[in-house]
């Protein structure tokens, strides 16, 4: 048994951050390489999952454990159950939120590794402060409490604490940074961490208060309506609140970046990590034995648990994939500069070796905190220009393919300055923002509206590229070098067996081979991109989703009517009914008047669908009810059928054939949808009041719109014993978002621009249905022909309805 393994055999590790990239690799390596070791994982429980359930789902089922699973065979579950436990807690909470059992498990541990962090380079300042700055000190305080408990129980508590920091706490200054505490570093800028904490918390409060000013709230509500249209008050309010929260977050990100850069750090991550080290050492450096481990940029594994293993995309992967897809034409950087990356298994090996050395009984007294860099820039430098050459060469030889199956030619980067690239991308983003607003205001739908979704996607890609440049540009231009003298001294003290099991020497990496044969293939494996030419023979995403929708396992299919099953609306129906019995000249004049009203009607409909229906249906006041019910059949046969989508009606029949319940939910009048009743199990529609055989022009009850449709659907499903998560909803407009969101399988049919963008963003199924070719489609009724072939009836009803229309157009009836 190696010296390190012997020192750690049978010991218990208490690990934070185990659901992250580094933490998952550390848990696997300890279980596989340290005999009889046990691990206790501090995990924040989810809304519906305990800490142990999260550990099982997010850690132990990860492919990182495939090697251990193969090694253990049928004993894997038993082995894990006996060696792994989880306790609920949160490093952003004082006391870690530990209950008595959690504190007891901490007191029984030998090594505490704190790898939890807000690792995003664009974290809001306040959350980065709570996790990165105060988190290590909270863990250390818990270690002190646990040690006292162990002493009271006659035991020795945690022996050593290993907080994981980052090499970039030294900033991006030119020169070499040594493995020493920040207080003694020439890179150090002295600021009081307590003042920084107070300022960040105060800034969060001030920013939140600013977001609640009436002017801000009005703008958030306006923006929400611009995105969702008439989706209903609840959904609009929900979206406005989300926009407010996002605004606060973005402001705190900007504040964090500005403060960090003013002190010489590229962003809030290394800034809060650096102050976290200072807070930790100043409070607990003399009382809690600790060793700080500072890795550089951690990337995919060199060998352990398998070459190329990675969890989630790190810093370089989004940039590389965007480049390979032809989306990132330029990226700043200094070709002679060093890209300081380190494979994750070398970092894990260093942490375990540090723990092993700390637990060896050398007889020496604790002499204060020590620091180890795990970085490659000095020991095995990897030039940025060489990285770009390798990536370009690899994707030239192994190109990605576009949606047409054609290879994507990668550009040659010219290493421009960061400012130039930022300006180019900012201009592109602003131009697409303007284009989105223009296209979003147009009354387009279906495949034309797909322009809006495609434009939004391009806008997102441009913003993402700009974000990459703003976040990571400083790291590609850094000239700091992180020395590893102490790390190599530790390597020298390890025996040959230790070195074979726990390789931590950065010189072990052959960068050309690592990039070409390990890292890039791993990225592409996880990126879900096309790597083969020609048309794919696999089912498309649309085909897969359609297959799921038409599964016999589904329960309920709900349909909107207008522009979902027919290319018509309540105005079309009214125009046909009101002008049906008028002479040709009056008929044309009437329709022309109605067309002039169209823009105002469209504005009202977009603003509030309920108000629009109430207002528009007043035009039916005084019309004979029986005559219009008869005319409704003519409307269906002569207009609606001609404007129907055969594929839509076929879909309704498919659902019924599969045993699904079908329901039509529409704002159209009952007399309009009555001929469609045999298609559906149930129809929910509008009904006009009736007095003395004439319509009053007032709705007996407003048909469900917006959130009301979702509530009606929920009540209907509950009454019929159906599950909405196994149900479908078909609609064309953003005003139907609540209904679409209520089901497990939403379908956007011929979507308007807003819904097309939402559907694309959320991955919803989209159908483009068309009217049937051929057949007469008169703009106006041909004459008073009823469904029994008789002529010349109903002029009184026509006059009444037309008169009602003219009165309503002139103003509301009193």
The three-state DSSP-derived secondary structure of 212-241 is CCHHHHHHHHHHHHHHHCCCCHHHHHHHHH
Q: Is the peptide bond before 667 cis (omega within 30 degrees of 0)?
A: no
Q: Where are the alpha helices (DSSP H) in 608-645?
A: 609-616, 625-635
Phi-psi sector, 560: left (phi>0), alpha (psi -120 to 50), beta: beta
Q: Say if pTM beats, i.e. exceeds, 0.85.
A: no
CA dist 555 and 659 (Å) reads 8
In a domain, 305, yes or no: no
Residue 752: strand, helix, or coil: strand
Neighbours of 380 (CB within 10 A): 18
Domain residues for the domain of 2 are 1-187+271-296+340-378+483-504
- Hey, which residues does 556 pair with through a beta bridge? 661
Neighbours of 175 (CB within 10 A): 10
CA dist 469 and 225 (Å) reads 32
Using 50, 70 and 90 to split pLDDT, how confident is the model at 471? low
- Judge if 54 and 97 occupy the same domain: yes
In a domain, 558, yes or no: yes
User: Among candidates 82, 123, 165, 80, which has minimal Cα distance to 354?
Assistant: 165
Using 50, 70 and 90 to split pLDDT, how confident is the model at 789? very low
Query: What does the pLDDT read at residue 809?
Result: 36
DSSP letters spanning 358-405: HHS---PPP---EEEEE--TTTS--BHHHHHHHHHHHHHHS--B-TTS
Q: Is the pLDDT of residue 151 over 80?
A: yes
Which whole-number Å values give the CA distances from 522 to 295, 317, 346, 407, 532, in the listed order? 21, 10, 17, 20, 16
Lowest-pLDDT range, 99-108, 410-419, 772-781?
A: 772-781
Using 50, 70 and 90 to split pLDDT, how confident is the model at 807? very low
Query: What does the pLDDT read at residue 792?
Result: 30
- Judge if 11 and 110 occupy the same domain: yes
pLDDT tens track for 413-451 = 776 666 666 666 677 667 766 766 666 666 655 565 555
pLDDT tens track for 568-611 = 888 888 888 888 777 777 777 777 777 787 777 777 776 777 77
Q: What is the DSSP letter of 582?
A: S
Query: What does the pLDDT read at residue 428?
Result: 67
Confirm if 598 and 571 have CB atoms less than 8 A apart: yes
Residue 293: strand, helix, or coil: strand
Chain-centre distance for alpha carbon 733: 23
Neighbours of 153 (CB within 10 A): 11
- Judge if 454 and 531 occupy the same domain: yes
Q: Is the pLDDT of residue 799 over 50?
A: no
Neighbours of 431 (CB within 10 A): 12
β-strands 84-88, 111-114 pairing: unpaired
CA dist 378 and 382 (Å) reads 9
CA dist 89 and 42 (Å) reads 6
In a domain, 116, yes or no: yes
- Judge if 697 and 644 occupy the same domain: yes
In a domain, 786, yes or no: no
- Judge if 449 and 422 occupy the same domain: yes
Query: What does the pLDDT read at residue 574?
Result: 86
670-680 average pLDDT score:
93
Q: What is the DSSP letter of 261?
A: H
Q: Is the pLDDT of residue 798 over 60?
A: no
- Hey, which residues does 401 pair with through a beta bridge? 407
The mean pLDDT of the chain is 84
Q: Where are the alpha helices (DSSP H) in 229-291?
A: 233-262, 268-284
Q: What is the DSSP letter of 507?
A: G
752-772 average pLDDT score:
86
Tokens of 128: 């980065």
Query: What does the pLDDT read at residue 336?
Result: 78
- Judge if 389 and 373 occupy the same domain: no
Chain-centre distance for alpha carbon 433: 20
Question: What is the maximum alpha-carbon separation in the chain?
Answer: 113
Query: What does the pLDDT read at residue 343?
Result: 96
Query: What does the pLDDT read at residue 757?
Result: 80
Q: Is the pLDDT of residue 787 over 70?
A: no
* Tally of structural domains, the chain: 4
Tokens of 161: 């604490």
Tokens of 761: 């963003």
Query: What does the pLDDT read at residue 777?
Result: 53
In a domain, 143, yes or no: yes
Which whole-number Å values give the CA distances from 360 to 3, 356, 364, in the listed order? 9, 6, 10
Sign of the CA dihedral with 719 first, then 725, 728, and 729 last:
positive
Question: Phi first, then psi: what are they for 15, rounded to 5°?
Answer: -125, 130
- Range list of β-strands (E), 158-221: 160-163, 175-177
Neighbours of 73 (CB within 10 A): 8
Query: What does the pLDDT read at residue 701?
Result: 80
189-198 average pLDDT score:
90
Half-sphere exposure of 366 (CA within 13 A, CB side): 16
- Judge if 231 and 216 occupy the same domain: yes
Query: What does the pLDDT read at residue 566?
Result: 93
Query: What does the pLDDT read at residue 352?
Result: 96
Using 50, 70 and 90 to split pLDDT, how confident is the model at 676? very high
Using 50, 70 and 90 to split pLDDT, how confident is the model at 361? low
Lowest-pLDDT range, 209-213, 713-717, 805-809?
A: 805-809
Place of tokens 């611009």: 226
Tokens of 487: 């790390």
373-380 average pLDDT score:
94
DSSP letters spanning 443-490: --BTTTTHHHHHHHHHHHHHHHHHHHHHHHHHHHS--EEE--HHHHHH
- Judge if 414 and 526 occupy the same domain: yes
Q: Is the pLDDT of residue 186 over 80?
A: no
CA dist 353 and 8 (Å) reads 9
In a domain, 812, yes or no: no
CA dist 112 and 102 (Å) reads 13
pLDDT tens track for 305-318 = 999 999 876 556 77
Question: Phi first, then psi: what are they for 485, rounded to 5°?
Answer: -60, -45
Q: How many helices and strands (H and E) does the chain possess?
A: 32, 18
Lowest-pLDDT range, 121-135, 249-263, 328-342, 506-520?
A: 328-342
User: Among candidates 276, 271, 254, which has minimal Cα distance to 204?
Assistant: 254
Query: What does the pLDDT read at residue 538?
Result: 66
227-255 average pLDDT score:
87
Question: Phi first, then psi: what are they for 606, rounded to 5°?
Answer: -70, -30
CA dist 352 and 504 (Å) reads 10
In terms of Cβ atoms closer than 10 Å to its own Cβ (0-12, 13-18, 19+), residue 435 is middle
Place of tokens 């926009």: 243
Confirm if 163 and 351 have CB atoms less than 8 A apart: no
CA dist 740 and 278 (Å) reads 51
DSSP letters spanning 34-95: STT-EEEEEE---SS--HHHHIIIIIITSGGGHHHHHHHGGGHHHHHHHHEEEEE--TTSGG
Q: Is the pLDDT of residue 143 over 70?
A: yes
Neighbours of 718 (CB within 10 A): 11
CA dist 14 and 16 (Å) reads 7
Lowest-pLDDT range, 198-202, 281-285, 384-388, 660-664?
A: 384-388
Confirm if 383 and 336 have CB atoms less than 8 A apart: yes
Phi-psi sector, 301: left (phi>0), alpha (psi -120 to 50), beta: beta
- Judge if 643 and 670 occupy the same domain: yes
Query: What does the pLDDT read at residue 289?
Result: 93
325-334 average pLDDT score:
71
- Judge if 406 and 555 occupy the same domain: no
548-566 average pLDDT score:
94
448 versus 747: the higher-pLDDT residue is 747
CA dist 258 and 447 (Å) reads 43
CA dist 738 and 105 (Å) reads 46
Q: Is the pLDDT of residue 779 over 60?
A: no
Tokens of 150: 């162990």
DSSP letters spanning 642-703: TTB-HHHHHHHHHHHHTT-EEEEEEEEEHHHHGGGGGG-SEEEEEEEEEETTEEEEEEEEPP
In a domain, 741, yes or no: yes
What percent of the chain has a predicted confidence (pLDDT) above 90? 52
Q: What is the DSSP letter of 325?
A: T
CATH number for position 553: 3.40.50.1000
Half-sphere exposure of 493 (CA within 13 A, CB side): 15
Residue 340: strand, helix, or coil: coil
Q: Which of 7-21, 186-200, 326-340, 458-472 has the highest mean pLDDT?
A: 7-21
**CA angle (98 as vertex; 94, 101 as ends), nearest 5:** 160
Query: What does the pLDDT read at residue 115?
Result: 95
Sign of the CA dihedral with 561 first, then 562, 567, and 572 last:
positive
- Judge if 140 and 55 occupy the same domain: yes
198-222 average pLDDT score:
95
Q: Is the pLDDT of residue 702 over 90?
A: no
Q: Where are the alpha helices (DSSP H) in 550-645?
A: 570-579, 584-607, 609-616, 625-635
β-strands 694-701, 291-295 pairing: unpaired
538-546 average pLDDT score:
81
Lowest-pLDDT range, 1-5, 63-67, 77-81, 442-446?
A: 442-446
CATH number for position 152: 3.40.50.720
β-strands 682-691, 694-701 pairing: antiparallel
- Judge if 683 and 704 occupy the same domain: yes
Using 50, 70 and 90 to split pLDDT, how confident is the model at 412? confident
């Amino acid at each position: 048994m190696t010296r390190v393994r012997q020192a750690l055999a049978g010991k218990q590790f208490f690990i934070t951050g185990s659901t992250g990239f580094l933490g998952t690799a550390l848990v696997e390596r300890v279980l596989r390489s340290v005999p009889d070791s046990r691990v206790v994982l501090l995990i924040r429980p989810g809304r519906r999952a305990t800490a142990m359930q999260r550990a099982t789902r997010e850690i132990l089922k990860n492919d990182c454990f495939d090697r251990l699973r193969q090694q253990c065979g049928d004993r894997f579950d038993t082995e894990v159950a006996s060696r792994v436990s989880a306790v609920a807690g949160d490093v952003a909470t004082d006391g870690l939120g530990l209950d008595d059992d959690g504190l007891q498990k901490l007191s029984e541990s030998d090594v505490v590794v704190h790898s939890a962090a807000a690792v995003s380079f664009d974290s809001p300042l306040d959350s980065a402060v709570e996790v990165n700055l105060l988190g290590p000190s909270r863990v250390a305080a818990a270690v002190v409490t646990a040690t006292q408990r162990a002493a009271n129980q006659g035991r020795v508590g945690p022996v050593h604490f290993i907080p994981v920091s980052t090499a970039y706490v030294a900033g991006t200054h030119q020169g070499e940074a040594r493995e020493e505490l920040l207080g003694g570093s020439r890179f150090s800028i002295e600021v009081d961490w307590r003042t920084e904490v107070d300022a960040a918390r105060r800034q969060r409060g001030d920013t939140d208060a600013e977001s609640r000013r009436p002017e801000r709230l009005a703008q958030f509500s306006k923006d929400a309506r611009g995105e969702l249209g008439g989706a209903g008050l609840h959904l609009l309010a929900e979206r406005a609140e989300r926009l407010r929260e996002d605004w606060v977050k973005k402001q705190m990100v900007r504040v964090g970046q500005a403060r960090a850069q003013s002190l010489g750090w590229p962003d809030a991550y290394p800034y809060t990590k650096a102050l976290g080290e200072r807070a930790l050492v100043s409070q607990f450096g003399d009382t809690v034995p600790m060793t700080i481990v500072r890795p550089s940029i951690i990337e995919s594994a060199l060998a352990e648990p398998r070459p190329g293993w990675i969890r989630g995309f790190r810093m370089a992967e989004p940039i590389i994939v965007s480049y390979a897809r032809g989306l990132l034409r330029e990226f700043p950087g200094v070709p002679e500069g060093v890209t300081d990356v380190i494979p994750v298994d070398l970092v894990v090996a260093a942490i375990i070796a540090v723990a092993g050395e700390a637990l060896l009984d050398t007889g020496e007294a604790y002499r204060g905190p020590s620091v180890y860099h795990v970085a490659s820039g000095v020991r095995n430098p990897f030039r940025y220009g060489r990285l770009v050459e390798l990536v370009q060469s690899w994707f030239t030889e192994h190109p990605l393919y576009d949606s047409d199956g054609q290879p994507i030619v990668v550009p040659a980067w010219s290493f421009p300055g960061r400012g130039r690239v930022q300006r180019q991308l900012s201009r592109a983003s602003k131009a697409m923002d303007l284009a989105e607003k223009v296209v979003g205001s147009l009354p387009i739908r279906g495949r034309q509206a797909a322009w809006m979704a495609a434009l939004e996607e391009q806008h997102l890609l441009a913003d993402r590229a700009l974000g990459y440049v703003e976040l990571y540009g400083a790291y590609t231009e850094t000239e700091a070098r992180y020395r590893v003298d102490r790390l190599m001294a530790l390597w020298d003290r390890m025996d040959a067996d230790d070195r074979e099991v726990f390789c931590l020497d950065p010189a072990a990496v052959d960068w050309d081979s690592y990039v070409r044969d390990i890292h890039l293939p791993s990225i592409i494996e996880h990126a879900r991109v096309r790597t083969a030419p020609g048309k794919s023979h696999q089912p498309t995403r649309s085909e897969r989703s359609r297959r799921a929708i038409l599964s016999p396992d589904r329960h309920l299919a709900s349909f909107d009517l207008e522009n979902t099953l027919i290319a018509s609306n309540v105005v079309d129906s009214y125009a046909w009914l009101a002008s049906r019995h008028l002479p040709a000249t009056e008929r044309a004049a009437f329709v022309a008047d109605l067309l002039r009203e169209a823009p105002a009607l469209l504005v009202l409909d977009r603003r509030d669908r309920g108000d629009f229906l109430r207002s528009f249906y007043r035009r039916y006041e005084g019309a004979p009810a029986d005559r219009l019910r008869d005319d409704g059949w003519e409307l269906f046969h002569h207009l609606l059928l001609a404007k129907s989508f055969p594929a839509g009606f076929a879909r309704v029949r498919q659902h019924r054939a599969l045993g699904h319940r079908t329901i039509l939910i529409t704002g159209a009048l009952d007399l309009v949808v009555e001929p469609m009743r045999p298609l559906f199990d149930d129809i929910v529609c509008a009904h006009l009041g009736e007095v003395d055989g004439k319509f009053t022009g007032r709705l007996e009850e407003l048909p469900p719109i917006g959130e009301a449709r979702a509530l009606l659907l929920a009540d209907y499903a509950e009454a019929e014993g159906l599950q909405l998560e196994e149900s479908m909803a078909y609609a064309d407009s953003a005003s139907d978002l609540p209904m679409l969101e209520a089901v497990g399988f939403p379908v956007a049919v011929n979507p308007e621009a807003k819904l097309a963008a939402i559907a694309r963003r959320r991955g919803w199924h989209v159908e483009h249905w068309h009217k049937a070719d051929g057949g007469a489609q008169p703009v106006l009724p041909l004459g008073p022909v009823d469904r029994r072939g008789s002529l010349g009836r109903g002029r009184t009803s026509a006059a009444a309805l037309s008169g009602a229309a003219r009165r309503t157009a002139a103003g509301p009836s009193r």
